[in-house]
C-alpha cells in the first residue's frame, strides 16, 4: 500500500457554544417524532415479517427487476468522522448514481412501496443534521441506512465481544438473494444505473461484498489521527447529551445500526478481542484520548494488513485521505471517479467547490494528549503517508 506523505496538522484552540438558547437549538435535531419512533419500532422489531414483505414486493416487480443489473457498486467505508459522508454526498450528485436517502427509513425493507407512499409528502426545507457539522439535509439527502438490512440477517455484527468480520467464506444465500433484489429495487426507485453506499461497518465486510459483486469498487476513508480523534470525541459528547435529552434518538440510532458514539457506543471487533477489551476499558475509565487513539491505530492497522495480503481486494480499494479531499477536491474527486469507473459528470466536478476543511471547531489537545496520540498511532499513521512526530 502506497500513499503520499502529508504533514501533521497543528493543534489550535477549539471554539465552544455557551448560551442556553444555543444548547437548546443544538440538541433539537435529536428529537424523533413519536409516530416515526412507533413505526420504526414495528419495522425493526419484526424483521421476519418485513423480510417476507420485502420478498412479496420483489415478486410483484420481478419482470422489471430482471432487466436491471448491479454493475460495479461503490462502497464507502471508514471509521466515523473520516470524511465518508461528504464523499457520499459528492458521489450521489453523479447522474448515474442512486443511494439510500433519509426518506427510506423506516420502510427500508420495501423500498418501492415505501417510496410510492412517501411521494405525496410535502417538500421539506433543509435542516442541519444532528452532528452539528454544518451539513444541511433533506429527506432526499443520501444517508447510510443499509445496515438495517444486514442486522436483519446477521445477529453478531455489532457485538464487541465477537468478531464482526464477514469474509469470502460466508455462505448466506438467503441474505445474498434479498440484498441483491433490494439493490435492484433501489435502482428502480432512483432511476439510476449505479449503486453507491456509505457504511462505516462495511469496513468489516469488504471481502464478502467482493464475493457478492466481483466488480465492486471500494473507497476507504481516513483522516489524520489528531483531527480524527478530536472529531470523534466531539461527536461522542454531543450524541451522549443529545440522547439523554431525547431518549427516542438513542432508539433510532440503534434501529438504523449506528453505534459509533453516544450512549450505546460499541467498538468494531475485527477479530482481536483483547485489543477491543483494552479500548473499551480505556473508554470506561474516561481515558477517551488514548482509547480513541488505540482504536484508530488498531482498525486502520488491521485494514492496512488486509490490503497488503489480499491483492484482489487491494486492486478494488482506493484509500481516500480527508486532507487530500480538502487540499485538492477537484483532483481527488477525478481520481475517485476513475477508480469507480463512473463517466465524467458536471455535477460531480462542481461538487468539489463544496469540500473544505471544517471551520466549526478545532482540536484543543494538551501537549501530553498529543504525545499519547503520537505514541498510539504513529506506526499506523506512517503506513497511510502521515508523518510521525
For 26-35, the pLDDT digits (tens) are 788 899 999 9
CA distances from 57 to 8, 52, 121, 194, 230 (A): 51, 9, 21, 21, 44
What does the block give as the cell for 42? 414495528
Whether omega before 106 lies within 30 degrees of 0, making that bond cis, reads yes
Rg of the chain in Å (alpha carbons): 20
Provide the pLDDT for residue 233.
Answer: 96
Question: Where does the pLDDT of residue 14 fall: very low under 50, low under 70, confident under 90, or very high at 90 and above?
Answer: very low
For residues 157-161, give the mean pLDDT. 95
Question: Where does the pLDDT of residue 175 fall: very low under 50, low under 70, confident under 90, or very high at 90 and above?
Answer: very high
Lowest mean pLDDT among 2-16, 143-157, 233-247, 266-280: 2-16
Name the more confident of 359 and 13: 359
The answer to whether 54 and 110 are in contact (CB under 8 A) is yes
Under the phi-then-psi rule, with left for phi > 0, alpha for psi from -120 to 50, and beta for the rest, what region is 311? alpha
Lowest mean pLDDT among 70-74, 77-81, 261-265, 360-364: 360-364
For residues 135-144, give the mean pLDDT. 80
CA–CA dist 78, 100 (Å, integer): 18
CA–CA dist 207, 169 (Å, integer): 9
Provide the pLDDT for residue 361.
Answer: 67
Provide the pLDDT for residue 140.
Answer: 85
CA–CA dist 368, 270 (Å, integer): 29
Dump pLDDT digits (tens) for 330-357. Answer: 999 999 999 999 999 999 999 999 898 8
Question: Where does the pLDDT of residue 20 fall: very low under 50, low under 70, confident under 90, or very high at 90 and above?
Answer: very low
Quote the Cα angle for 280-283-284, to 5°: 85
CA distances from 348 to 71, 97, 221, 255, 306 (A): 19, 11, 18, 31, 30
In 3-state terms, what secondary structure has residue 241?
helix
* % of the chain residues with pLDDT over 90: 81
Q: What is the mean pLDDT of the chain?
A: 90
Provide the pLDDT for residue 26.
Answer: 73
What does the block give as the cell for 329? 477536491
Long-range CB contacts (within 8 A, 24+) of 280-283: 280/160
* % of the chain residues with pLDDT over 70: 89
Provide the pLDDT for residue 18.
Answer: 39
CA distances from 58 to 43, 204, 278 (A): 18, 28, 45
Query: Which residues, in sequence order, are CB contacts of 260 under 8 Å at separation 6+?
Result: 79, 80, 200, 232, 235
CA distances from 249 to 76, 78, 131, 264, 306 (A): 25, 23, 12, 11, 35
The answer to whether 233 and 179 are in contact (CB under 8 A) is no
CA dihedral of residues 224, 262, 268, 307 (deg, nearest 10) = -30
pLDDT at 19 over 50: no
Query: Cβ of 354: how many Cβ atoms within 10 Å?
Result: 12
Provide the pLDDT for residue 292.
Answer: 98
- Per DSSP, 104 falls in state G
pLDDT at 3 over 60: no
With 0-12 / 13-18 / 19 or more C-beta atoms within 10 angstroms meaning exposed / middle / buried, residue 90 is buried
Question: Where does the pLDDT of residue 119 fall: very low under 50, low under 70, confident under 90, or very high at 90 and above?
Answer: confident
pLDDT at 261 over 60: yes
Provide the pLDDT for residue 7.
Answer: 42
For residues 122-132, give the mean pLDDT. 64
Dump pLDDT digits (tens) for 273-329. Answer: 999 999 999 999 999 999 999 999 999 999 999 999 999 999 999 999 999 999 999
Amino acid at each position: 500500500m502506497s500513499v503520499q506523505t502529508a504533514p501533521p496538522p497543528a493543534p489550535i484552540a477549539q471554539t465552544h457554544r455557551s448560551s442556553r438558547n444555543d444548547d437548546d437549538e443544538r440538541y433539537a435535531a435529536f428529537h424523533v417524532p413519536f409516530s416515526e419512533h412507533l413505526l420504526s419500532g414495528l419495522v425493526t422489531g419484526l424483521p421476519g415479517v418485513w423480510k417476507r414483505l420485502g420478498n412479496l414486493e420483489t415478486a410483484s416487480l420481478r419482470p422489471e427487476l430482471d432487466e436491471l443489473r448491479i454493475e460495479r457498486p461503490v462502497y464507502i467505508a471508514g471509521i466515523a468522522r473520516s470524511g465518508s459522508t461528504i464523499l457520499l454526498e459528492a458521489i450521489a450528485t453523479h447522474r448515474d448514481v442512486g443511494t439510500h436517502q433519509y426518506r427510506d427509513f423506516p420502510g427500508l425493507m420495501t423500498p418501492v412501496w415505501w417510496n410510492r407512499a412517501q411521494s405525496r409528502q410535502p417538500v421539506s426545507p433543509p435542516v442541519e443534521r444532528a452532528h452539528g457539522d454544518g451539513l444541511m439535509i433533506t429527506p432526499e439527502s443520501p444517508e447510510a441506512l443499509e445496515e438495517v438490512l444486514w442486522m436483519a440477517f446477521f445477529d453478531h455484527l455489532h457485538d464487541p465481544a465477537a468478531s464482526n468480520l464477514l469474509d469470502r467464506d460466508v455462505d448466506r444465500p438467503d441474505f445474498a438473494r434479498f440484498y441483491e433484489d433490494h439493490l435492484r429495487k433501489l435502482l428502480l426507485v432512483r432511476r439510476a444505473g449505479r449503486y453507491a453506499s456509505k457504511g462505516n461497518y462495511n469496513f468489516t465486510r469488504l471481502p464478502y461484498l467482493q464475493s457478492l459483486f466481483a466488480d465492486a469498487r471500494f473507497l476507504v476513508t481516513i483522516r489524520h489521527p489528531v483531527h480524527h480523534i478530536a472529531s470523534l470525541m466531539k461527536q461522542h459528547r454531543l450524541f451522549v447529551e443529545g440522547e439523554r435529552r431525547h431518549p427516542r434518538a438513542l432508539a433510532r440510532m440503534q434501529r438504523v445500526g449506528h453505534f459509533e458514539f453516544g450512549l450505546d457506543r460499541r467498538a468494531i471487533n475485527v477479530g482481536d478481542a483483547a485489543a477491543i477489551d483494552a479500548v473499551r476499558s480505556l473508554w470506561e475509565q474516561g481515558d477517551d484520548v488514548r482509547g480513541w487513539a488505540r482504536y484508530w491505530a488498531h482498525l486502520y492497522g488491521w485494514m492496512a494488513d488486509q490490503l497488503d495480503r489480499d491483492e484482489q481486494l487491494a486492486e478494488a480499494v482506493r484509500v481516500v485521505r480527508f486532507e487530500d479531499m480538502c487540499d485538492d477536491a477537484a483532483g481527488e474527486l477525478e481520481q475517485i471517479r476513475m477508480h469507480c469507473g463512473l463517466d465524467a459528470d458536471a455535477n460531480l466536478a462542481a461538487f468539489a467547490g463544496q469540500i473544505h476543511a471544517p471551520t466549526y471547531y478545532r482540536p484543543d489537545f494538551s501537549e501530553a494528549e498529543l504525545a499519547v496520540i503520537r505514541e498510539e498511532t504513529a506506526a499506523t499513521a506512517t503506513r497511510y503517508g502521515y508523518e510521525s512526530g
